[in-house]
Amino acid sequence: MNARTTERWAPVVTAIALLILWQLVCAIFKIADFIFPSPITIVQAMIEFAGPIGEAAWKTFWVTMIGFAIAIAVGVLLGFLVGSSRLAYAAIYPLLVGFNAVPKAAIVPILIVWFGIGIGPGILTAFLISFFPITVNIATGLATLEPELEDVLRVLGAKRWDVLIKVGLPRSMPYFYGSLKIAITLAFVGTVLAEMTAGDSGIGYLMQTAGSQQRMPLAFAGLVVIGVMAMAMYELFSLIEKRTTGWAHRGTQSD
């Protein structure tokens, strides 16, 4: 088995080992399901409530994608503005840092007052929690453009706008895709947080209801579904990144 195959299967083997250990701990110490359910009990709950879980997962997914799409649009525009201008960086970046430091859980009650119970708080929380990494990475990619390269392009007749669009943005793509992989996981966190606080449907609402009824296997099944959706989107962006920015990564060498 070569190194690449080993790396590919390592996460699967690790996950299986952790699940076996988890099951053994629950069986040996006879932990009640309403306290800490075993993997088998969680799978049984996923099968039993496949319909409600699937419906809730779809609601959470598309709400997250709407908020995430808005975060990409706003994050790219703000990142371009902050990264391309020293004045904009000095004026806007400290405010963004301060806003990002505010716990998003504290914002959800305000969103409930403004937009009521439903999908509105979920979309906005997903957006608010995920746009900052995109903004920072786009700005970093533009701001780290080598001064020597910019000077050469200026000598060759390129204007500031040409340098940013034709050189700065392509060089920012690895930063951009890196930020997407972080932001998509945060977006799911934001949606579930809003659903648990202000939702009337979705995985977060399902988990909140199951927890209040001490149906821990169902609550843990919701956690598993959220994790799977986030991992799937992460891997999707990783695949797109490899296909579009392969020039920015070292080739894997066989041992």
> Tell me, what's the pLDDT at 128?
94
> Tell me, what's the pLDDT at 183?
95
> Tell me, what's the pLDDT at 172?
84
What is the residue extent of each domain of the chain? 36-244
pTM exceeds 0.75, yes or no: yes
The 3-state secondary structure of the chain reads CCHHHHHHHHHHHHHHHHHHHHHHHHHHCCCCCCCCCCHHHHHHHHHHCHHHHHHHHHHHHHHHHHHHHHHHHHHHHHHHHHHHCHHHHHHHHHHHHHHHCCCHHHHHHHHHHHHCCCHHHHHHHHHHHHHHHHHHHHHHHHHCCCHHHHHHHHHCCCCHHHHHHHHHHHHHHHHHHHHHHHHHHHHHHHHHHHHHHHCCCHHHHHHHHHHHCCCHHHHHHHHHHHHHHHHHHHHHHHHHHHHHCHHHCCCCCCC
> Tell me, what's the pLDDT at 1?
59
> Tell me, what's the pLDDT at 251?
53
> Tell me, what's the pLDDT at 255?
44
> Tell me, what's the pLDDT at 253?
44
> Tell me, what's the pLDDT at 151?
66
Which pLDDT tens digits describe the chain residue by residue (255 residues)? 577 778 778 888 999 999 999 999 999 999 999 899 999 999 999 999 999 999 999 999 999 999 999 999 999 999 989 888 888 888 888 898 898 888 888 888 898 889 888 888 999 999 999 999 999 999 888 877 766 666 666 766 667 677 777 777 888 888 899 899 999 999 999 999 999 988 888 999 999 999 999 899 999 999 999 999 999 999 999 999 888 876 665 554 444
> Tell me, what's the pLDDT at 11?
86
> Tell me, what's the pLDDT at 66?
97
Query: Domain 36-244 belongs to what topology?
Result: MetI-like fold (1.10.3720)
